[in-house]
Structure 1
């Protein structure tokens, strides 16, 4: 009984456990089916949402409207988002005033370097060309002004004024003519004047250029200060510096003082004759024309005779000439002072002697 009971108990227990297991299995199968249906339902809902979103995007696109931003956490369809055409936007922003689009410049450094070298060569070539042109212009201008006939001095256009019988025009022309055929820009006026002043009898000279081909020479020619008369009766004209003037025939020597000498060349080297010539040159023209003879035995005994002995003036040497001339002029022109006297000695001008 015990065994049957045990056996029955076991069987009951087993019998009772079989139905429970079957129900449990069926319950699990139902749950699995319900989960499968749920998954299919969720998948269907996802596809429906995507389809609705696509239809919404298409609807907005067809209406020309941009889709609105989704709220935070909401579903966003990437296909519904608008994409900006950056290339078209860039071309639109870079369009010129005439609507022609300008591409953004792309710098090619190699090409840029070549362009710079080419530009540098052009600048150098231009500078060289300018330098050559300047040099050629300078050379041409130099030749034109200094070596062509444009400003050439012509002998026929040299004019002399102020010459007299003692200083001939031919002497001056000979000196000035040495500058002929030169450009006036190369003619030295100072050199011409210096040479002309060396002519005996010329006290001053000027040379003025007359463009384009002329030269004017003006001189002041003095008459002889004295005539040197030798024992044979020949006479030689000399100026204040003791220079012999050119020989002139048939010329009146009236009013020119005469100094008697033994030898012309030797006398011109003596101090006595030099002092006499200085005194004669300093005399006023009216008094010099009245001098008929001059003696100069020593340098401090120069004596002049006026109007063939009417007056005799002892000058001494050539010192204090202005004072001596003033004293002589006062004495000989005042009858109360000179009286019937003929000789006036002013070798000591502060103590003149009248006798």
Structure 2
């Protein structure tokens, strides 16, 4: 493969020779100017300075034609004023508001629905409260339930000041002050039965026996609360003889033992004695049988064991039952 032959070097065109005898006229906008001898390349000569528009005829100046715009500007009515501009702006705002209302109509309907539901609930609550606190729901009858030893009529008479009071406004402090005068009342609850009934549910104290004192025989419950005082021992309740009085550990143990007894045995007990919390003894009535109980631990278990042995060995032929150890009951 042969290398291509290089192209011949180009020769610049020859500059024409300058002839001093030639006269060249340089024409600008003005009249022709004669070039002096020596030619334009003579460094010692300069051309005279002539004004640009010197002796230019009027017909030589041509005006530049105006190029029209691509789109003609809209005609402006010279009679449009500020009020017309304001009116157009207001019309535009009204149109914008109308579009906004049209696109938010569903949201506004949903909001109005929720507002209506909330308003209905508020009116319902206000109406209910207004009716409840009005004389339409005032107390007309006080009903006492749950009493056995206590006189229900006396309790109702003590609460007569609540008649005419709206059920929500019944004063619980006044009810407590009225019931505190009845020692047999252990606890109570108030129940409103619209439109006019107030129910008082009472839990009475359970007396465990009577304690002898200088005033006579005082009936007490397991907490040592005095219920009544009589000159003779109350019928149907055992006489309690403990060391240290109603505030001692011996009395607390006696109360625990008596409340653990079944009704079949409780009605046979005529006396309970204790010097300490560990030597509780029960006296059974007619046959004169005693029950050695010991302390109050496992009283429910001891009560079941005593009931079983009494069914097998009645008290008439027994002088004592010892249930201090319920797994090994001793009968004498």
Short-chain TM bin: 0.5 to 0.7
Aligned partners of 2:144 and 2:155 also within 8 Å: no
Residue in 1 that maps onto 2:217: 235
Unaligned 5+ segments in structure 2 are: 1-90
Aligned length, in residue pairs? 232
The two structures, once aligned, show a CA RMSD in angstroms of 4.6
Aligned partners of 2:218 and 2:229 also within 8 Å: no
Residue in 1 that maps onto 2:235: 254
Residue in 2 that maps onto 1:112: 95
Unaligned 5+ segments in structure 1 are: 1-107
Residue in 1 that maps onto 2:269: 291
**1:235 positional shift:** 1.4
CA 1:111–1:323: 2 relative to 1, 3 Å = closer
Residue in 2 that maps onto 1:157: 141
Once residues 341 and 224 of structure 1 are traced to their aligned partners in structure 2, the CA distance between those partners, rounded to angstroms, is 28
- Counting strand residues as a fraction of each chain, which structure ranks higher? 2
Match of 1:280 among 258, 263, 288: 258
Q: In the TM superposition, what whole-angstrom CA distance separates every residue of 1:53-91 from its partner, at most 9, and x where no partner exists?
A: xxxxxxxxxxxxxxxxxxxxxxxxxxxxxxxxxxxxxxx
1:2-41 mapped onto 2 (5 Å cutoff): none
Residue in 1 that maps onto 2:201: 218
Once residues 132 and 207 of structure 1 are traced to their aligned partners in structure 2, the CA distance between those partners, rounded to angstroms, is 33
User: Helix, strand or coil for the counterpart of 2:137?
Assistant: coil
- Counting helix residues as a fraction of each chain, which structure ranks higher? 1
**1:294 positional shift:** 1.3
CA 1:166–1:306: 2 relative to 1, 3 Å = farther
Residue in 2 that maps onto 1:181: 165
Aligned partners of 1:228 and 1:259 also within 8 Å: yes
Match of 2:293 among 296, 305, 315: 315
Residue in 2 that maps onto 1:147: 133
Residue in 2 that maps onto 1:352: 329
User: Helix, strand or coil for the counterpart of 2:207?
Assistant: coil
CA 1:136–1:319: 2 relative to 1, 3 Å = closer
Aligned partners of 1:166 and 1:248 also within 8 Å: no
**TM-score, structure 1 as length reference:** 0.51
Higher-Rg structure is 1
**TM-score, structure 2 as length reference:** 0.54
CA 1:348–1:133: 2 relative to 1, 3 Å = closer
**1:315 positional shift:** 0.8
